[in-house]
Amino acid sequence: MKTRKIVAIVVIAFCLLAGTEINAQKKEKTVEVGGAPMYPSKNIVENAVNSKDHTTLVAAVKAADLVDVLSSDGPFTVFAPTNNAFAKLPEGTVENLLKLENKEMLQIILKYHVAAGKWSAKDIVAAIKKGDGKYAFKTVSGGTLTAWMKGKEVYITDENGNSSKVTIADVNQKNGIIHVVDTVLLPRS
């Protein structure tokens, strides 16, 4: 009888805690990405796994053993390529990068999409204006990405001259911010 009461109390407590978390998440200002709300109370990985538009990126992060890094405190600014962005790469590129023997290269490419700190769209635009039309980010991989604007749109250019448009800005995370981009950025080879 005591065991049933304890189990019942534990179940009730769990339900109350889960209900509290769900209610707290409902009150958060979310941005929808890939058909799912992105909660500012969750970290980059916890949110990204719910986006239907980022399944390739999530698979790559897992294959590169970067889940723990992107779940850490940060803060990070992530320029997150969509599945369509990965599909623009030459045929077989993604499959090749996901192989165990290419893990180091995959890590470099993924870290090339990450800058230290939390850079909102407003911060990026201000830096572009202050920099006479361009702002260079140092990436976690040690490379450089250049932000610039065309009209009101923000673009990010890699070291090879390939540009990626920010399609969804300011997706706030507990440990940083995500800006969704439409092209995979590649470090100088």
Domains annotated on the chain, with CATH: 37-181 (2.30.180.10)
Beta strands in the chain (DSSP E): 31-33, 36-38, 76-81, 114-116, 134-138, 144-150, 153-157, 163-173, 176-181
Note down pLDDT in tens along the chain; length 189 residues.
555 655 455 456 555 555 544 444 456 788 888 878 888 898 888 888 888 888 898 899 889 888 888 888 889 999 999 999 999 999 998 998 889 999 999 999 999 999 999 999 999 999 999 998 999 999 999 999 999 999 999 999 999 999 999 999 999 989 889 999 999 999 987
Q: Which of 83, 156, 160, 77 is nearest to 120 (CA)?
A: 77
Place of tokens 């890590």: 107
Q: Model-level pTM?
A: 0.82
SS3 40: coil
